[in-house]
Structure 1
Amino acid sequence: MVIIKNLKFVGVMCGLIGGIAIAIYPIVIYPMMNIDEYKKIQKETRKGIRQEDIQPGNMKVWTDPFDRK
C-alpha cells in the first residue's frame, strides 16, 4: 500500500509541474525563442508614433546604456 500512495503522490506532483510548464510556455518561453516575430509586430503597431511626443514630463527617451558610441 505504501508504494501505491507514493506513486499517486509522484503522479500528482508530475501533473502539477507539467501543468505549470504547459501554462508558462506560451507566455515566457515562446516569445524568447521567436524574438524577430515580436519585433516585426511592434514595428507595425508603432508605425505612426513618435516616442518623443508621448514621453511624459519631458523626460529623455530611453537609450541603451551599454550601447557603444
Structure 2
Amino acid sequence: LGYTIAHQSVVGDNPKRMAEVFQLASTRADIVISTGGLGPTQGDITRNVLADSIGRPIVFNQEAMDE
C-alpha cells in the first residue's frame, strides 16, 4: 500500500503500559493500528484501554457488522 511502518510495539495485558503505548503512538502518527488482543472474550482489555486512553467512547456499529 505504500505506507511506512515507523514504530512497532508489543504490549501484554497490562492496562497502564498499554495506555502509555497508545498515548505515545497517537503523538507520533496520524493513524494507529492495533492488532491482536481484540477477541470476543470478557478478558480482552485492549478496546477499553484504548477508549479510555484517548477519551473516546466505544461505539458499536451494527451496519458495519452486517457487512
Instruction: Please confirm whether the aligned pair reaches a TM-score higher than 0.5, indicating the same fold.
Output: no
Please state which band the TM-score falls in when normalised by the shorter chain: under 0.3
More relative contact order, 1 or 2 (CA 8 Å, 6+ apart): 2
Normalising by structure 2, we get a TM-score of 0.24
Point out the structure with the larger helix share.
Answer: 1
